[in-house]
Amino acid sequence: MTSKDKLLANKIYLILAALFIASLVTSNLIFQKFFYWYPFDVTIFGTKLFEVSVGLLPYPITFLITDILSEIYGKRKANDVVIAGIFASFFSLLIIYISKEVPATNWSPVNNGIFVEVFGAAPLAVLASMMAYLFAQFIDIRVYHFWKQYTKGKHLWLRNNFSTFSSQIIDTLTVLLLLCSFGIIDWGNFLGLLISGVIFKVIIAFLDTPILYLIVYAFRYRFKLKVNEEIDDAVLLSVDSEVDKIGKE
């Protein structure tokens, strides 16, 4: 791999990590708004299919990105981004807590009441999301690599969907259990939201499979990677020395 390829691989990794963290933090901040999508006239345990949180819109992107990272950069680099996402989420939690405590001015477009109404439950939501997130993301990466090793790098669709299905079920179940326990969501909506959320995420997982194929193909074509070959840590860690060489030329 050339110096320019190493630099490009490192930049793409940073961009994917940034998109992952942004999607995760955003999903925690906007979760209190629920929207409806009624492709079918179905009611499950008193909840229409689909009535789900807008937080689910950016959240599947995190699983797509970890699958891309797992496929191209390996298990360790995918885990590094997950850990970075945890720190980013808790940092956002701290900022929200401080912002809630400082008083608003009389002319502030958003007064104390509105801010608390919108972001007041965010600390509990982030806590619930983080606990579910820890389970789901690490399981997603482990299951993905299990199928990757088992199939020797073939059948990308299999590991993408199997890892996402299992992790998303765990994520949805854990988040709803905690949010209902904290009193943010009524227990009467638990089963309906659980089933709607899981089905919605399964549909998204199916839809993102061709996107994953396209991105993985682009990576393999650009960096001349063989099936099951990864851009390992040695390549990314050598970027600094390559930058120094390029600067001297």
- Note the pLDDT tens digit of each residue in 122-156: 676 667 667 777 677 778 778 887 888 888 878 88
- What pLDDT does residue 107 have? 92
- Four-point Cα dihedral 176, 177, 183, 187, nearest 10: 80
In Å, how far from its chain's centre is CA 77?
15
- What pLDDT does residue 215 have? 93
Give CA separation, 155 vs 74, 87, 209, in Å: 17, 33, 11
Q: For residue 53, what are the β-bridge partners? A: 34
pTM summary value = 0.80
224: burial class by Cβ within 10 Å (0-12, 13-18, 19+)? Answer: exposed
What is the rounded distance in angstroms from the CA atom of residue 88 to the CA atom of residue 33? 22
DSSP letter, residue 121: T
With tokens 């994520």, the residue in question is 171
What is the rounded distance in angstroms from the CA atom of residue 16 to the CA atom of residue 21? 9
DSSP letter, residue 225: P
- What pLDDT does residue 18 have? 95
What is the rounded distance in angstroms from the CA atom of residue 142 to the CA atom of residue 125? 25
- What pLDDT does residue 191 have? 84
- What pLDDT does residue 203 have? 81
What is the rounded distance in angstroms from the CA atom of residue 84 to the CA atom of residue 69? 14
Residues of the chain with pLDDT under 70: 121-122, 124-126, 128-129, 134, 233-249
Cβ neighbours, 10 Å, residue 189: 18
- What pLDDT does residue 230 have? 84
